[in-house]
Structure 1
Amino acid sequence: MKTVEVRLPQEYDKSFIVFQEIGQFFPCPWHYHPEYELVLVLKSTGRRMVGDHIGYFDAGDLVFMGPSLPHVWVNDPEFFKGEAGYQANAIVVQFVDNFLGKPFMEIPEMDAFRSFLKRSSRGMELTGTTRTRITNLMKRMILMSGLQRLSALLEIFDILAHTTEYEMLASPGYVQNVHLKSSDHLRKINQYIMQNFQEEISLPEIASVANMALTTFCCFFKEHYRVSFVEYLNTVRIGHACKLISEKELNIVEAAAESGFNNLANFNRQFKKIKNMTPSEYRRTLNAAV
């Protein structure tokens, strides 16, 4: 499925974009852009696709995404048929990382926010009080202009910089660009996985990379990644397979082989476990979003 670059119109006297999408349905296809983006759904329901993640959205859904991450919001059929009884409605905020000048993003006060931006390459669903606070600000930003609107965006930055209320969306294997603020052990482990996941990686091998005993490594990995090494490796591989299916349009057997699976039955089993659908169903879902 071809991904297209889509750009929202920016007012000449504004340094970032605040855009309200109102219509029978959300018109954007499977797309990407160079800006960071916040998407708040005010009204509508449907499927939300971010990278290789497929989920469902309804009113109140709030997602933050980094640059160049493919995504699309596909309304439920009743919106396309004009039978929903109301219009789809969303607010979008977009900005580039240097919209206030590169020196601004490098000041000490922006350290925590820069770390948040690094984690956004996979997309995040924001939850809890973070979602409530940002939702209120985005609704008000529609009616703001000038310094008032900029001040509201900086307040959103501060909320994001200190929140832990989010769920990652796309898998690390889809983006292949995981930023970890942690020890040298995690950096070495992650780098090795991303460089070698298409080959066999044994537990003793990866433990050796981390310079740990096998038992110590297993406990360390589970503590930091919240899943076992094998579960994480399969997630990376399935994410890469999703990328191949969506971008290169490989057949299922080719995608499995190029993602490190030498057994098609195991690939299908792991895909269904991680994505809650078969590879063929995943492809059909992508095609339906075109």
Structure 2
Amino acid sequence: MQPDLELVAVSRDESFKAWYHGYPYRTVRWHFHPEYEIHLIVATTGKMFVGDHIGSFAPGNLVMLGPNLPHNWVSDVPEGETVEQRNLILQFGQEFVTHCMESFPEWRQVEALLAGSRRGVLFGAQTSAAIQPLFLELLAARGLRRLMLFMSMLEMLVTAEDSELLASPAYQADPTGFAATRINHALSYIGKNLSAELRESDLAQLAGQSVSAFSRYFRRHTGMPFVQYVNRMRINLACQLLMDDALSITDICYKVGFNNLSNFNRQFLVAKGMAPSKFRRYQQLNDASGDASDEAAARDAGGENAPSIVPAVPAHDHAHTRTARAAYPQA
């Protein structure tokens, strides 16, 4: 299931966008955007989808999202019932970040937070409670007061001690990022041969290193041991295949390179905190939210500066795909 693109319109006389919406709503679907986002749930409970993470949410759920990280919050609300204000949203682009970096040396303190947001950062109840009144005031603030509130919120997030990353490290792993290193060939080989038997000794030979040197080098660049990285990559592929109802869980187990179902289920549970069957059910819930958001958009068409959604481009529409990627590059 490809995420849809949300077009975020920031007013020319503002540095960032602060707004809220209810439920159901047009953007309640599996989607992404090039902007950073701070997202606070103020009403309803349900399921949260961030990258390859699936979890539960309740009022006070505060998450920061990095550029192009797919996400969705699906509320447990009876059909036909509406919620006026479900979540508060703040969005700002990379250009704004770059200007701040160039203008304010103090902004360097924010770099670690921005880097972590590319996997999604979940904050605890203490930080959420401190930020919510600032967030609510920000919705109506103007001029310099907006900037003061925004910077205060960022300071709280930077210094928060109750945060955790959501998407797995392997979800963000990009072999092209190691293009200048010898390990690039090993990472590329792993990505192309997940269904085959992968031995660390063979990959060490491919990288031109001893097994011990390769093991240290691999862990330094990926943040995890070789076997764990391979398992995570296989689980990531399994997550994609679980979106296809035509494949059984057993078929997927062998297709991604596990040699028995019990090991696959065990590794999936460790990585995702749930069985593959439950993950598939939740993804079906995530997918169904797009239909509800279409109905909400039809009821609430128009509105100045309202966010809009560009559906995922079909794989066969190569020309459209090139245009979309050029306009909205993946970070």
Q: Which residue of 2 aligns with 1:105?
A: 101
TM-score, reference length from structure 1: 0.75
- Deviation (angstroms), 1:211: 7.6
Identity across aligned pairs (percent)?
A: 33
Establish whether residue 126 from structure 1 lines up as the match of residue 120 from structure 2.
Answer: no
In structure 1, list runs of 5 or more residues that go unmatched: 179-186
Match among 152, 155, 159 for residue 156 of structure 2: 159
2:67 alignment counterpart: 67
* Equivalent residue, structure 1, for 2:146: 149
**Is 1:19 paired with 2:13?**
no
What TM-score results when the alignment is normalised by the length of structure 2? Answer: 0.67
Counterpart Cα distance in 2 of 1:274 and 1:4 = 25
> Closer, same or farther in 2 for the Cα pair 1:12/1:81, shift >3 Å?
same
The answer to whether the 8 A contact 2:200-2:211 is kept is: no
Structure 1 range deviating more: 36-45 or 152-161: 152-161
Contact 2:35–2:67 (CA under 8 A) maintained in structure 1: yes
**Which of 260, 279, 290 in structure 1 is aligned with 2:276?**
279
| 1:138 pairs with 2:135 | yes
C-alpha displacement of 1:59? 0.6
Residue number in structure 1 paired with 2:232: 235
Greater RCO structure (CA 8 Å; 6+ sep): 2
Would the alpha carbon gap of residues 149 and 254 (structure 1) be closer, same or farther in structure 2, given more than 3 Å must change? farther
Distance 1:52 1:155, change over 3 A: same
One-letter amino acid matched to 1:131: S
Structure 2 counterpart of 1:42: 42
- State the one-letter code of the partner of 2:190: N
Aligned-partner SS, 1:122: coil
Shift of 1:93: 0.5
Cα shift readout 1:65-110 (whole Å, capped 9, x = no counterpart)? 11111111101043x342x8x655210001112126x343245322
Count of residue pairs the alignment pairs up:
273
Residues 51, 170 of structure 1: 8 Å contact kept: yes
Q: Secondary structure at the match of 1:15?
A: coil
In the alignment, which residue of structure 2 is the partner of 1:270? 267
Q: CA deviation at 1:114?
A: 2.0
CA RMSD of aligned residues (A): 3.8
C-alpha separation between the residues in 1 aligned to 2:120 and 2:13? 29
Contact kept, 8 Å, 1:47 with 1:75, in 2: the verdict is yes
User: What amino acid is aligned across from residue 21 of structure 2 in structure 1?
Assistant: E
Alpha-carbon separation, structure 2, partners of 1:150 and 1:9: 18
Secondary structure, counterpart of 2:95 in structure 1:
coil
Specify the code of the residue in structure 2 equivalent to 1:16.
F
Cα distance change of structure 1 residues 274 and 17 upon mapping to structure 2, 3 Å threshold: same
CA–CA distance in structure 1, aligned partners of residues 18 and 227 of structure 2: 42
Structure 1 residues 205, 50: CA separation in 2 closer, same or farther (over 3 Å shift)? same
1:153 is displaced (CA, Å) by 1.4
